[in-house]
Amino acid sequence: MIHFEWPWLFLFLPLPILIRKFLPPAPVAKEAALKVPFLDDFRPQFTLSGGAHLPRWPLALAAIAWVLLVTASTRPQWLGEAVELPVSGRDLMLAVDLSGSMQEEDFVIGDRAVDRLTATKKVAGEFIERRIGDRLGLILFGRQAYIQTPLTFDRQTVKTLLFESAIGLAGKETAIGNAIGLAVKRLREGDTKSRVLVLLTDGANTAGEVEPLKAAELAAEAGLKIYTIGIGADEMIVRSFFGNRRVNPSADLDEKTLQGIADTSGGRYFRARDTAELEEIYRIIDQLEPVEKDSQAFRPTSELYFWPLGAALILAMGLVVYRQQRENGPP
């Protein structure tokens, strides 16, 4: 069906008639002219300012152009059939660590060693695809924390922007407290009953103005549940000139703080040492029961104003060309 966003603008349709009726005519320049009484003078005519006589059809075209222009100004739209959107009633924010330590290649995907961020993108991307009905948002943090994607039902955009993130984009350090504080600020603005933050990091809080546990207390007060994921292998073999040696690439992971954040907010702490464990963690989180909420109807809308606007411009241009040719006369 056709819908007019601003139908009250149709009140301007009689404006040219009112102007002609109540305003004085424009002054006419006096010019010498020779009047020859031919039979053509008795045909139906109208007079423009300046004394030029024209047939009636330009006036009709001008009226049509005015109607089209007013119609375009009312912003006509085509409303499609209503489509019901699945809505769970949950706001779910993902916070991903982009600090320098995320470049450690201690994960494996398809027999190929990859860094921690690459593994996170793969597993979290699949998790995002499954979260049909949730409003998703993305926070990226390093030395600073910032919103990469505000809460949206557009899962593909969230996934795309996650895949476009890069290590060091937000700095080399880790501001866990700032990331939680930013999530609290964003999620507190909504009116949903279920608010969840999934925070993934491989280190400890080394930057930022907010202490992680204090931020977790604020999250608990705002009804925000935090699931923390500590990522990184416990052991890996490093080859050197003196031979192979075993190292712990996750020595800097502050599991105690991550556990405290989860406990304070009513969430849960997970430990991901490899890709399989990371996938299992997201499957567990994926089992969160959605909060029931009435489905929302969406009607796809297509703008139509450019059609009458274009037609009005074409008619106006035609009238201008016609008047110029008539005034200039034949060559």
User: pLDDT by residue (tens digit) across 271-293?
Assistant: 999 999 999 999 998 876 554 55
In whole angstroms, what is the distance from residue 202 CA to residue 102 CA? 7
Shared domain for 91 and 75, answered yes or no, is no
| pLDDT higher than threshold 80 for residue 330 | no
- Strands 46-47 and 53-54 come out as antiparallel
pLDDT digits over 88-112, tens only?
Answer: 568 899 999 999 889 988 899 988 9
Query: Within a domain: residue 116?
Result: yes
CB-based contact 168:142 (threshold 8 Å): yes
Domain enclosing residue 6, as ranges: 2-19+42-80+300-328
Q: List the one residue out of 153, 134, 149 whose CA is nearest residue 194.
A: 134
Taking the CA of residue 47 as centre, how many other CA atoms within 13 Å lie in the half-sphere pointing to its CB? 7
Shared domain for 67 and 91, answered yes or no, is no
Query: Residue 123, SS3?
Result: helix
Q: List the one residue out of 214, 184, 210, 213 whose CA is nearest residue 196.
A: 184
Q: Quick one: pLDDT at residue 140?
A: 95
Mean pLDDT of the chain: 83
Shared domain for 55 and 173, answered yes or no, is no
Residue 214's CATH number = 3.40.50.410
In whole angstroms, what is the distance from residue 237 CA to residue 164 CA? 30
Model confidence at 269, pLDDT cuts 50, 70, 90, reads: very high
- Span 229-238, average pLDDT: 80
pLDDT digits over 49-72, tens only?
Answer: 444 455 788 888 889 999 999 999
Q: List the one residue out of 173, 123, 182, 133 whose CA is nearest residue 153.
A: 133
pLDDT digits over 133-146, tens only?
Answer: 788 999 999 999 99
Is the entire prediction scored with pTM above 0.75?
no
- Span 306-323, average pLDDT: 89
pLDDT digits over 28-45, tens only?
Answer: 555 545 454 544 444 444
